[in-house]
């Protein structure tokens, strides 16, 4: 299954076909996940780690990307599952 990443978070205007580097940087999904991750405190991450039975970094990343996926999904109108 392809992950819907929302496209580039900060699109770059390309002039004369030259970008100066390859790629477009982070995706909107990455940006959203980073915003979530920056708002998880140490206690919440420790609680998630125990609940999810994995190391703290993995649990925090899973939660952050899960929230990012939910935010990208919420951007569709009407929301998926609603008509």
Query: What is the reported pLDDT for 18?
Result: 57
In a domain, 41, yes or no: yes
* pLDDT 10s digits, 2-24: 788 888 887 766 666 655 555 56
Query: What is the reported pLDDT for 30?
Result: 92
In a domain, 61, yes or no: yes
The whole domain housing 56 covers 28-74
* HEC-encoded secondary structure of 13-33: CCECCECCCCCCCCEHHHHHH
Report the C-alpha dihedral over residues 50, 53, 58, 63, rounded to 10 degrees.
-70
Q: How many domains does the chain have?
A: 1
Q: How far apart are alpha carbons 81 and 83 in whole angstroms? A: 7
């Amino acid at each position: 299954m392809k992950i819907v990443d929302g496209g580039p978070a900060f699109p770059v205007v390309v002039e004369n076909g030259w970008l100066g580097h390859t790629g477009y940087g982070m995706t909107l999904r990455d940006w959203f996940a980073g915003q979530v991750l920056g708002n998880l405190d140490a206690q919440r991450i420790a609680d998630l780690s125990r609940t999810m039975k994995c190391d703290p970094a993995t649990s925090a990343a899973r939660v952050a990307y899960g929230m990012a996926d939910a935010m990208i999904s919420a951007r569709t109108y009407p929301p998926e599952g609603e008509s």
